[in-house]
């Protein structure tokens, strides 16, 4: 007795393998980022956007069983678009993590190897640090080479 599998059956089974199925699972895992000594947290929520995936950040309070947007994604995207000179999608912001600052009136995040702080009252975003890489060719015969990485920091006061 031999069992045979059709191409159609094989393709259907292959789509259910974890590395293929994960594309169709939204919010399968929630990674809480705790605030207030563990009374609240924010997490990244997957969303469907046309044929693509997107994400939003949600603030959750388990004690009162409430959840809300962590900040106004549209205003943040508009502000960030103007300072980085490229379009930023409010449903897919170019960072996966952030830190609340100043009693949750501002957030800090990294985009394009630069650190930004965005005031959540007026949505003014300022670059506070950028990485600059200096390279010099290495010449094996002489043993001379140089590779420097330096952070340039600017002071920003909220």
Q: Distance between CA atoms of 79 and 35, rounded to whole angstroms?
A: 25
Task: Give residues with Cβ within 8 angstroms of 129, minimum separation 6.
Answer: 114, 115, 151, 152, 153, 154
CB atoms within 10 A of CB 33: 17
pLDDT one-digit tens code per residue, 116-154: 999 999 999 999 887 665 555 555 555 444 444 444 443
What share of the chain in percent tops pLDDT 70?
Answer: 75
Distances 145 to 9, 133, 134 between C-alpha atoms, Å: 57, 14, 11
Q: Yes or no: say if 111 and 126 are a contact pair by the CB < 8 Å rule.
A: no
Strand partners, 115: 110, 129
Q: Which residues lie closer than 8 Å to 96 by C-beta, 6 or more apart? A: 44, 55
Residues 6+ apart with CB under 8 A from 124: 79, 118
Q: How far is CA 6 from the centre of its chain?
A: 41
Backbone φ, ψ for residue 63 (5° rounding)? -65, -40
pLDDT digits (tens, 9 = 90+) for 20-58: 666 667 667 788 999 988 889 999 998 877 767 789 999
pTM assigned to the model:
0.68
| 114 within 8 A of 132, measured Cβ to Cβ | no
């Amino acid at each position: 007795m031999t069992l045979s599998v059709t191409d159609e059956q094989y393709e259907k089974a292959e789509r259910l393998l974890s590395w293929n199925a994960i594309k169709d699972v939204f919010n399968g895992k929630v990674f809480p980022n705790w605030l207030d000594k563990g009374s609240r947290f924010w997490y990244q929520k997957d969303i469907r956007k046309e044929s693509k995936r997107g994400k939003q950040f949600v603030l959750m309070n388990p004690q009162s069983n409430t959840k809300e947007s962590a900040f106004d994604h549209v205003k943040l995207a508009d502000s960030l678009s103007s300072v980085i000179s490229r379009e930023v999608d409010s449903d897919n912001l170019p960072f996966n993590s952030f830190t609340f600052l100043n009693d949750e009136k501002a957030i800090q995040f990294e985009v394009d190897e630069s650190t930004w702080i965005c005031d959540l009252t007026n949505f003014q975003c300022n670059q506070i640090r950028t990485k600059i890489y200096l390279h010099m060719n290495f010449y094996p015969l002489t043993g001379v080479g140089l590779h420097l990485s330096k952070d340039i920091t600017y002071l920003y006061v909220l």
